[in-house]
Structure 1
Amino acid sequence: MVNVDTPVLVVGAGPSGLTLANELARHGVTVRIIDRAPAPATTSRALVVQPRSLEIFEDMEVIDDVLAVGGKAPGINVMFANDKSVRLELDDLLNDPANYTTYQSLFTLSQDDTERILTKKLEERGVRVERGLTMTDLAAGEGHMIVSVRAADGTTRAIRCAWVIGCDGAHSAVREAAGIPFEGTTYPDEFIMADAELDWDLPDGDIYAFPSRAGFIAAFAMPGEHRFRIFGNVKAGPEGPGPEYSEPTHEEFQAMVDERMPLPATVVREHWVSRYRLHRRVAPRYREGRVFLVGDAAHVHSPAGAQGMNTGIQDAYNLAWKLALVANGIAGEPLLDSYQAERHPVGKRLLTTTDRLFAVISGQSATATFLRAHLAPQIVSRVLARHSIRTWLVGTLAQLRVAYPASPLNHEDGSGWKAAPAPGDRARQADVLIDGEPGRLHDLLHGTRHTVLLFAGTGGARQEAELCRVADRIRHAYPDLVTAYVISTERLTDHPALVGDPDRSAHDRYGLGRAAAAFVIRPDLHICYRGTPIDTGTLLAELARRLPGAAPKAVDSPFA
């Protein structure tokens, strides 16, 4: 094995980089993380944390700190100049099987708070962010990378590592040094974003969007009285677009508010305000040899839908467990190819979706302005009157429906799945009894292992005791890598793997009836296998294929 200073070097200590470093450390991989900034940022920047990211934070054991600092945003309001408005109550739309989650609203948390919480957890895991270090070059060696970095005092050094992860944003030095293009364009308009206190008649706590003939403005509730994150587009001046970043005056900011909002609103105070340019770009590949791109280094897009930071967090969550299995010798390097196969389509689709939405809500063409002023009030109210569309829209916005249907890791046996989640889908949440106490199915999935869920079915054809023996055999074969549970509507057997489903909540949410079925859940809470009927040999062969470097241990159990 090549001698390295660290197996993994993460470049960039934003939410994506901090998530990745935390997850690698949690999975037992030695990691270093560097950032060019001498100190953490103190501005809010990204604000909305989607329910799927909250599920990830729960698995990462930072959810209590997140919930203590941020605030719920229970509703989204689209308001037009003609007094028409549409409101989406999120908790009503996060209860169908695919959407069901512990976190029944969007959540607002300033990015500096997100980074502070993740940094604290990382330090608890024994890893500190090395600040004031700028990556200047990459060189590939035989089975390793050499990363050149420059300190704030001008001195340089080389870091030898097995893998380099670029989490260093839209102007990624890692991406440039690896020779990966960043394809796309820059939007013609400029955008103003601010954290401000507003004097208006709307209540705190919600999210508000105001499409108008002039363009678009939105206000996202922040912690604090009458405090909102506000952003909107403005036309470039007669001399064309300005610099990448600048600071508008109070008068310019108030003028945008007056022009766009259909009700009186006074900007009392700006805590932070910036004018900037927006880009829509995506890297054609997220991996180049031993270099990976994560978050804004891989894809940037409009803020429509508040998807950017959350997508980067999911990138990191997807990559970390795979890199850990490879670094620990449990899986081969081909597993890492699934990162591109799974996350690149998500980034491409997000770029297309947000670009089309942004063209409608902020475009200056005659068609876009006419649509916002005249057709949007009727279209939005009619379309969103349909419960199925509202449910799909909110589930997509919350990133609970992100799936990898074409993943090379997917496999299934059997047929007749009907409404069951498919391989590549997020593992669904459900209410169950754990050790006789109320709990959630995701409580069983937390940690760093794969999880096998053995649903007993509702027909009584498969005995609990028999499935408990299957679970016990799986647990003993891969004690540190796989765990297994039996989900039963009866709970007639006393066994540590048995989970109660007395009201059939879990069976219903997984679209299951009388027949027994097995699901294998990855460490990132996505399904990689489903099979019916349950066959012990097939399950063990499936796990052996996924964990080729782990020799199954002989079964030594009173339940075998």
Structure 2
Amino acid sequence: MSIDQTTNSSSSSKRPVIIVGAGPVGLMAALVLVEAGVPVVIYERNLRPTTEWRAAALHARSLEMLARHNLAEKLIHAGNPFTGFTFIKNGRSQPGLTIDMIRSEFPFTLGCGQDTTERILNEQLAAHSVHVQWGWEYVSHDSIDDGISVHLKRVDTDETIVREAAYLVGCDGAHSKVRKAIGSQFIGKRIDYRIAVCDMEIDEDWLSTASFIQHREGMLGAIRAHPGNQYRLFTTWGADAPELTKETLVETIKRRVHPHKLHEPRVLSCSAFTVNERRASRYMSDDGRVFICGDAAHVHSPAGGQGMNTGMQDAENLAWKMAMVYHGFSRPELLASYETERTVIADDVLKLSGSLLSLLTSPMKQMIVGWLLPLIKRMPLFITRTQSETTSQLCIAYPIAKHCSSFADSPAWSRATASWLPFGWFADRTCAPGTRAVDCQVVDAARRACTRMRTFYAANNSAFKGILFIDYGKTEPCKDATTNGDDGAGMRRLSADVIEQIDATLEAFRAYKLPVMPAFVVHGVSMDSAETVEVPACASGIIGQLHNRFADVPVFVDMNQGQRYDHRTMADIYQCSRVKQRQQHAVYIIRPDAYVAMRMLLSEAATTVRVHLDTICLKQSAV
């Protein structure tokens, strides 16, 4: 669903957003913007798309994001899912920890070459008539009324042009000219460590989809980037190593995989780089018109495959906020939350990737891990799962701060935290404000079909969503179960007070220029399997009442989410049980990027929504 651009009253809306850089980060930013009805123009200094496989791993959180834009299935079809690395030492293979029990629709990492990721993103953009302008390099920019003018140079002819834009987004890599232009310092350090990377065709049965090979000379990692025998390899390349060529690289790899053999490997490309750990001191210009994303904002080691995934989520975080400001739905202050939120995440990623690099390159640490791996595999699931979900970027938690998009928790949940588990430090913060809104399976009550909540979200990725959790156990019996005035068949129904609270909440949702999209989730009825889509008869009264009274609001029925979610329901995952003692239904507000903005009791929702969203969203009556 595209946003009607005529709703925007700002003169800058007549100008596009210019994106510098056509890697996965720039393309993701463009896709989110164009699907929100914002015109974009993408400039890339290279003359053609990359043919190198480069960043070859997509984590679960990135796949969830791409699924909301109908891209995950295409990428999975083109890639190679894997649930963990195989560790190989002295020719012996040992499976490492697996991530198949992470709480996601995508319980794996997807091995997929960056060239494929870019191709699929470009195809989606082409469907919106957006095409990359190849061979144009950013030079500088100037401020103008309600926007900026961007100076660009043709790399093969030195032709120069000037283009006006509402905003400029620099996705132009670690040596970003846009970052330098806004006066942002690239703070951090260079690590005295070189890594060689290559794209190679290897046809060997002993090599799994993802392998990590330990050798006294140095480590070697391999990820299948394309179906078949095409791998992205990375290996240490010390100061005493020979000059990097295809021949010296093959000889080094053959030594490090011994006693396994490599028969006629074919090197397609190779290069080496020195590891840096740096983060930009600022992500936006003083005038709030220029931003940086991805490697332009942060660089670190490739350990853990965090870089491209972090950058693409930078892009989504910025783009949905930019779209709201562009269309006049939100105040410009919302854009400042991009830097506030994403710099915290970048710092966490720098620590994680640095720790993983130290682990993978230290012979002593590798030996200790080898000894402890059997014990680690026997550790409780909640411990190993936490580490796996962290690496898969499912544990991101945005700060609660002024003008941010997530707000302080309701006391109804805060008071219950300590009592939910015997040890407070093990308390599960799933779906708390600032954290990921877990996508769950539900039954569409109208269609009697199983679906996912992301399908509802995708109806308008640009809008906030309001999920009203209606607890079957907190309803009242019908006075006449056979002659219910609203539906004619219900056993239980919502009280007049609850209906009044829903009316007030929906009115609050409609008060904004971009209304909050509502949906009901009825929980507390028995729906044990995704294979069963027949809604229990006991819930028909409530469902009919909701359909009749709120005909334009979809009604979903909660269900058991299966073993990967510990057989919990959506309401359990969203911790609605923490308000049982209050005898109240719950309301969650979900951000456009599928993070929780706030949660509250239904009885307080009409007031709380206004108090919080008024700080970032403009109302219908606002000029």
TM-score (norm 1): 0.88
* 1:432 aligns to 2:442 (yes or no): yes
Alpha-carbon separation, structure 2, partners of 1:401 and 1:267: 42
Alpha-carbon separation, structure 2, partners of 1:552 and 1:64: 41
Alpha-carbon separation, structure 2, partners of 1:186 and 1:262: 34
With over 3 angstroms needed to count, the CA separation of the structure-2 counterparts of 1:484 and 1:542, relative to structure 1, is: farther
Which of the numbers 520, 523, 527 marks the counterpart of 2:592? 523
Q: Is the 8 A contact 1:147 1:159 kept in 2?
A: yes
Q: How many residue pairs end up in the alignment? A: 534
Alpha-carbon separation, structure 2, partners of 1:262 and 1:347: 40
Alpha-carbon separation, structure 2, partners of 1:274 and 1:82: 27
Letter of the structure 2 residue corresponding to residue 121 of structure 1? Q
With over 3 angstroms needed to count, the CA separation of the structure-2 counterparts of 1:536 and 1:237, relative to structure 1, is: closer
Residue 198 of structure 2 corresponds to: 194
With over 3 angstroms needed to count, the CA separation of the structure-2 counterparts of 1:524 and 1:3, relative to structure 1, is: closer
Which of the numbers 447, 457, 472 marks the counterpart of 1:445? 457
Identical columns (%): 27
The SS at the match of 1:145 is strand
Q: Is the 8 A contact 1:210 1:262 kept in 2?
A: no
Letter of the structure 1 residue corresponding to residue 556 of structure 2? V
Q: Is the 8 A contact 1:248 1:275 kept in 2?
A: no
* Residues 455-474 of structure 1 deviation map (CA, whole Å, 9 limit, x = unaligned): 12353248557276456545
Q: Is the 8 A contact 2:400 2:434 kept in 1?
A: yes
* 1:224 aligns to 2:281 (yes or no): no
* 1:379 aligns to 2:372 (yes or no): yes
Letter of the structure 2 residue corresponding to residue 484 of structure 1? P
Alpha-carbon separation, structure 1, partners of 2:454 and 2:609: 23
Alpha-carbon separation, structure 2, partners of 1:533 and 1:131: 52
* 1:396 aligns to 2:390 (yes or no): yes
After TM superposition, the structure 1 = structure 2 runs for residues 261-280 of structure 1, keeping only pairs within 5 Å, are 263-266=260-263, 268-280=265-277
* Residues 380-417 of structure 1 deviation map (CA, whole Å, 9 limit, x = unaligned): 44334312232012111111111213443322323235
Which of the numbers 537, 558, 561 marks the counterpart of 1:501? 558
Which of the numbers 518, 529, 538 marks the counterpart of 2:607? 538
Alpha-carbon separation, structure 2, partners of 1:533 and 1:475: 13
Q: Is the 8 A contact 1:38 1:131 kept in 2?
A: yes
Residue 488 of structure 1 corresponds to: 522
Alpha-carbon separation, structure 2, partners of 1:544 and 1:388: 34
With over 3 angstroms needed to count, the CA separation of the structure-2 counterparts of 1:377 and 1:414, relative to structure 1, is: same
Q: Is the 8 A contact 1:190 1:233 kept in 2?
A: yes
With over 3 angstroms needed to count, the CA separation of the structure-2 counterparts of 1:303 and 1:442, relative to structure 1, is: same
Residue 180 of structure 1 corresponds to: 184
Letter of the structure 2 residue corresponding to residue 432 of structure 1? V
Q: Is the 8 A contact 1:6 1:32 kept in 2?
A: no
Alpha-carbon separation, structure 2, partners of 1:425 and 1:520: 12
Q: Is the 8 A contact 2:585 2:602 kept in 1?
A: yes
Q: Is the 8 A contact 2:86 2:93 kept in 1?
A: no
Residue 256 of structure 2 corresponds to: 259
With over 3 angstroms needed to count, the CA separation of the structure-2 counterparts of 1:510 and 1:552, relative to structure 1, is: farther
Alpha-carbon separation, structure 2, partners of 1:425 and 1:433: 24
With over 3 angstroms needed to count, the CA separation of the structure-2 counterparts of 1:123 and 1:258, relative to structure 1, is: same
Q: Is the 8 A contact 1:7 1:327 kept in 2?
A: no
Letter of the structure 2 residue corresponding to residue 49 of structure 1? L
Alpha-carbon separation, structure 1, partners of 2:603 and 2:32: 32
Residue 365 of structure 1 corresponds to: none
Which of the numbers 422, 433, 436 marks the counterpart of 1:423? 433
Q: CA offset at residue 546 of structure 1?
A: 4.9
Residue 68 of structure 2 corresponds to: 59
* Residues 256-315 of structure 1 deviation map (CA, whole Å, 9 limit, x = unaligned): 342256644445222332233332211011112221110000001111001110100000
Alpha-carbon separation, structure 2, partners of 1:201 and 1:33: 42
With over 3 angstroms needed to count, the CA separation of the structure-2 counterparts of 1:214 and 1:388, relative to structure 1, is: farther
The SS at the match of 1:61 is coil
**Larger CA Rg, structure 1 vs 2:** 2
Q: Is the 8 A contact 1:192 1:253 kept in 2?
A: no
Q: Is the 8 A contact 1:468 1:497 kept in 2?
A: no
Letter of the structure 2 residue corresponding to residue 438 of structure 1? C
Which consecutive residues of structure 2, in runs of 5 or more, have no partner in the other structure?
1-9, 418-427, 477-492, 524-538, 548-552, 561-567
**Quick check: 459-468 or 8-17, which moved more?**
459-468
Alpha-carbon separation, structure 1, partners of 2:83 and 2:605: 44
With over 3 angstroms needed to count, the CA separation of the structure-2 counterparts of 1:85 and 1:389, relative to structure 1, is: farther
TM-score (norm 2): 0.80
Q: CA offset at residue 371 of structure 1?
A: 2.9
Residue 76 of structure 1 corresponds to: 85
With over 3 angstroms needed to count, the CA separation of the structure-2 counterparts of 1:296 and 1:502, relative to structure 1, is: closer
Q: Is the 8 A contact 2:187 2:279 kept in 1?
A: yes
Q: Is the 8 A contact 1:522 1:528 kept in 2?
A: yes
Which consecutive residues of structure 1, in runs of 5 or more, have no partner in the other structure?
95-99, 363-367, 554-560
* Residues 197-240 of structure 1 deviation map (CA, whole Å, 9 limit, x = unaligned): 33544254x3111234332211112323333221111112389x
Alpha-carbon separation, structure 2, partners of 1:138 and 1:360: 43
Q: CA offset at residue 422 of structure 1?
A: 1.0
Residue 280 of structure 2 corresponds to: 283
With over 3 angstroms needed to count, the CA separation of the structure-2 counterparts of 1:202 and 1:339, relative to structure 1, is: same
Which of the numbers 20, 31, 50 marks the counterpart of 2:59? 50
Residue 130 of structure 1 corresponds to: 133
Letter of the structure 2 residue corresponding to residue 452 of structure 1? G
Q: CA offset at residue 541 of structure 1?
A: 1.1
The SS at the match of 2:265 is strand
The SS at the match of 1:438 is strand
Q: Is the 8 A contact 1:258 1:265 kept in 2?
A: no
Alpha-carbon separation, structure 2, partners of 1:51 and 1:350: 15
Q: Is the 8 A contact 1:474 1:483 kept in 2?
A: no
What CA RMSD, in Å, does the superposition of the two structures yield over aligned residues?
2.6
Alpha-carbon separation, structure 1, partners of 2:559 and 2:108: 27
* Residues 35-70 of structure 1 deviation map (CA, whole Å, 9 limit, x = unaligned): 111111111111111111111111122233223322
Residue 352 of structure 2 corresponds to: 353
Q: CA offset at residue 80 of structure 1?
A: 3.6
Q: Is the 8 A contact 2:283 2:291 kept in 1?
A: yes
Alpha-carbon separation, structure 1, partners of 2:282 and 2:374: 39
Alpha-carbon separation, structure 2, partners of 1:137 and 1:547: 31
Q: CA offset at residue 517 of structure 1?
A: 1.2
Alpha-carbon separation, structure 2, partners of 1:298 and 1:500: 42
Residue 556 of structure 1 corresponds to: none
Which of the numbers 207, 219, 239 marks the counterpart of 2:210? 207
